[in-house]
Amino acid sequence: MLSFLTVLCLSGALLFPTFMLCITYPLSHKWALFWSDYITSRTARLVFAILKYYRHFEFLGSKNERDGLPEQFVVVSNHQSLLDIVVYFKFFSDHVVRFVAKDTLGKVPMVGKMLRSQEHCMIPRKGGAALAMKSIERLGERVLERGQIPVIFPEGTRSRDGNLGQFYSAGFRRLEETVKLPVAVCALDGGWKISKLDSILRNLYKGAYRVKILKVYPAPQSKAEEKQILEEAPHLIQAQLDKWRALPDGSLEV
């Protein structure tokens, strides 16, 4: 019964703003952007509130960690689920966040229109490395001009089993060379458990989505410093994942 109510409430929360986004998207960028921002702010908060009430699902991210952050910075994170995007919108709710994502997300209902309206970086699957790097460079120029926070997932794809994948450097380096901002290495966990439709409601019950800032680096001044960040980041993230997964069930520790 609670599973049915959860689905019903989530559908109710998403239906109207999704409908309005689909209606306005081909007609007005201004209104499509309005409804995209509505979904990523108000609707996202409502979704987590519904999950907490009906499924006892917790979003765990300390606000204290964000005290003292630079005005602008690049977020480097592991990647587990499409919901990672929603999680970072919520975690960095005091900032305007923009993501480096694959253009295949453009085929996902609502998500593609939202990402395009908000001018995230949509990496084309076809077109080669030069086109991908140019897309990232343009994102860097936009976020600098608009005071936004770029988020990049150096694994390049979602982890289906929660295991940390290899970090690739090209996208991060092009972004950092464009923006020249400090770098916040973050870890998140929980998304891989709810990435499949056949297990999502079961694993939502008393589950948790954790996110944590692990280390903030000054803006790298050389390729060697960029390399150091990309070498250290997976070790920092893996250590945090190991710590979280050693916690007892039901723990609210961040």
Q: What whole-number distance in Å separates Cα of residue 83 and Cα of residue 245?
A: 19
| Average predicted confidence (pLDDT) for the chain | 89
pLDDT tens figures, 106-157:
788 788 999 999 999 998 877 778 899 999 999 999 999 999 999 999 998 8
Q: Give me the pLDDT at residue 1, please.
A: 53
Question: With 70 as the cut, is the pLDDT of residue 3 above it?
Answer: no
pLDDT tens figures, 7-28:
788 888 889 999 999 999 999 9
Q: Give me the pLDDT at residue 216, please.
A: 96
Strand segments (E) across 22-118: 58-60, 74-77, 97-102
Helix (H, G, I), strand (E, B) or coil at 161: coil
The pLDDT confidence band at residue 219, using thresholds 50, 70 and 90, is very high
Q: Give me the pLDDT at residue 167, please.
A: 95
Q: What whole-number distance in Å separates Cα of residue 206 and Cα of residue 131?
A: 43
The pLDDT confidence band at residue 254, using thresholds 50, 70 and 90, is confident
Average pLDDT over residues 55-78: 87
Residue type present at position 14: L
**Residue 209 DSSP code:** E
Q: What whole-number distance in Å separates Cα of residue 193 and Cα of residue 199?
A: 8
Between 207 and 143, residue with greater pLDDT? 143
Q: Give me the pLDDT at residue 56, please.
A: 79
In the CATH scheme, what is the code of domain 2-245? 3.40.1130
Average pLDDT over residues 215-237: 96
The pLDDT confidence band at residue 195, using thresholds 50, 70 and 90, is low
Share of the chain above pLDDT 70, in %: 95
Q: What whole-number distance in Å separates Cα of residue 39 and Cα of residue 18?
A: 8
Question: With 90 as the cut, is the pLDDT of residue 194 above it?
Answer: no
Residues 6+ apart with CB under 8 A from 134: none
CA dihedral 152, 154, 155, 160 (to 10 degrees): -20
Domains of the chain by residue range: 2-245
Question: With 70 as the cut, is the pLDDT of residue 203 above it?
Answer: no
Least confident of 143-147, 158-162, 230-234: 158-162
Q: Give me the pLDDT at residue 10, please.
A: 80
pLDDT tens figures, 85-104:
989 999 998 899 999 998 88
Q: Give me the pLDDT at residue 196, please.
A: 61
Question: With 70 as the cut, is the pLDDT of residue 165 above it?
Answer: yes
**Residue 105 DSSP code:** G
Full strand arrangement of the beta sheet holding 183-189: 58-60, 208-217, 183-189, 74-77, 149-152, 97-102, 121-123
